[in-house]
Amino acid sequence: MPAALDLSRDAADVTAQLVDIPSVSGAEKVLADVVEQVLRGLPHLTVDRDGDAVVARTNLGRAERVVLAGHLDTVPIADNLPSRVEGPLLYGCGTSDMKAGCAVQLRLAAHLPAPNRDITYVFYDNEEVEAARNGLGRLARSRPEWLAGDFAVLMEPTGGVVEGGCQGTMRIRVTTAGRRAHSARSWLGDNAIHKAAPILAALEAYRPRIAMIDGLEYREGLNAVGIEGGVAGNVIPDACSVLINFRFAPDRSEEQAEAHLREVFAPAVERGETIEVTDSAPGALPGLDRASAAAFVAAVGGEPRAKVAWTDVARFSALGVPAVNYGPGDPALAHTRGEYVEIAAIGEAERRMLAWLTA
């Protein structure tokens, strides 16, 4: 067991402590144990655990409850541990995405026994892998009462700017069919890979929509992200599939997104090709018109922007809890070998959150 977390240190030091405990998705137990241990030592919190997700709550009878959530896992390590400090930057796997945000949560949990709102602190596992394993999703299914609240902040990296809502995401596979033949006698076959050309042409010609919601600009995107086909170097292929990802604005439901894709690729269906939805997750409206969201934006400052990606705010939205993304890391650095976070940004995020929770 690593040494206990020292939450008397500043937020950057706590971030380094978290980073130096490896927690690649599926291997978060050691870090979850350490987080649980330090939270159970705080008498003003009630602490529960489900798998490698740890949830701590104040119970002060406040008029409003907010949820602060962050995932403990990281992508695979890329020779970027242990953490190191170079000037104003803290380097290491998970510094930006999102152990800096988790450090801010832990500091608030330790040093804010009587906030102006009741707080639920959620630290969960398996965010960086497929949705079926997501720890927050597991809690939403089995322990939804643990996630209940009037407003939620997912402390994903946003560069210290409030990012409202999130895009939805859908993947479809469009498959063509042909007829195998020897490539020396190609006229006897029907090349399924060649039949993918109109699909790629439709993607190239597609002009994505820009949606304005609550004053935030969401840019949709429709792109091929994979293609599979071929049997051998001397065989005309009889099947080819194009994997397509649609990132859609949160004013579309999943059903509307699928209907749009089937409209775009209607010519493919007419040619006898098949369309299969392989993965889907809804977006989340920003909800910045809610009083709780407006108060948060006013407290942390800055000009909100759209979250042009999918995040777990969608899970809170599905539970009826308006949520935003806000954290000290830079999303452009997430998952990179040279991942880092600005040390000053971690302290600034903590100060802004503290101001909101004590005003």
Same domain for 143 and 176? no
161-196 tens-digit pLDDT? 999 999 999 999 999 999 999 999 999 999 999 999
How many percent of the chain have pLDDT more than 70? 100
pLDDT (tens digit, 9 = 90+) per residue, 100-147?
A: 999 999 999 999 999 999 999 999 999 998 888 999 999 999 999 999
Asked if residue 7 has pLDDT above 80, the reply is: yes
pLDDT-derived band at 293, boundaries 50, 70, 90: confident
Q: Examine the domain organization and report whether 118 and 67 are in the same domain.
A: yes
Residue 35 in any domain: the answer is yes
Q: Assign residue 43 the CATH number of its domain.
A: 3.40.630.10
| Catalytic entry in 13, 28, 73, 258 | 73
Q: Which of 216, 246, 281 is the last residue of a domain?
A: 281
Residues 347 and 289 in one domain: yes
Are 113 and 23 members of one domain?
Answer: yes
- Region label for 272, one of left (φ > 0), alpha (ψ between -120 and 50) or beta (otherwise): left
In a domain, residue 6? The reply is no
Parallel, antiparallel, or unpaired: how do β-strands 305-306 and 163-164 relate? parallel
Domain shared by 181 and 271, yes or no? yes
Same domain, 82 and 176: no
The domain that holds 183 is classified in CATH as: 3.30.70.360
Give the pLDDT confidence score for residue 288 in this predicted structure: 87
Q: Would the pLDDT of 1 be above 80?
A: no
Known catalytic residue at 73? yes
Which of 266, 281, 296 is the C-terminal boundary of a domain? 281
148 and 260 inside one domain: no
Candidates 36, 52, 118, 127; catalytic one: 127
Q: Given this model, what pLDDT does residue 134 score? A: 95
> Is there a domain that residue 4 lies in?
no
CA angle, 351 then 56 then 54, to 5° = 110
Domain count, the chain: 2
User: In this structure, is residue 228 part of a structural domain?
Assistant: yes
One domain, residues 211 and 68 = no
User: Do the domain assignments include residue 254?
Assistant: yes
5 falls within a domain: no
Quote the domain boundaries for residue 200: 168-281
Rounded to two decimals, the pTM is: 0.86
Tokens of 302: 């800055």
Considering only CA atoms, which of 286, 285, 201, 209 is closest in space to residue 246?
A: 209
46 and 160 inside one domain: yes
Q: Give yes or no: residues 147 and 179 share one domain.
A: no
Q: Is residue 342 annotated as a catalytic residue, yes or no?
A: no
Averaged over 89-97, what is the pLDDT? 97
Domain-ending residue, one of 281, 296, 325: 281
Does some domain include residue 3? no
Confidence of residue 219 (pLDDT cuts 50, 70, 90): very high
Please give the Cα distance from 229 to 134 (Å, whole number). 31
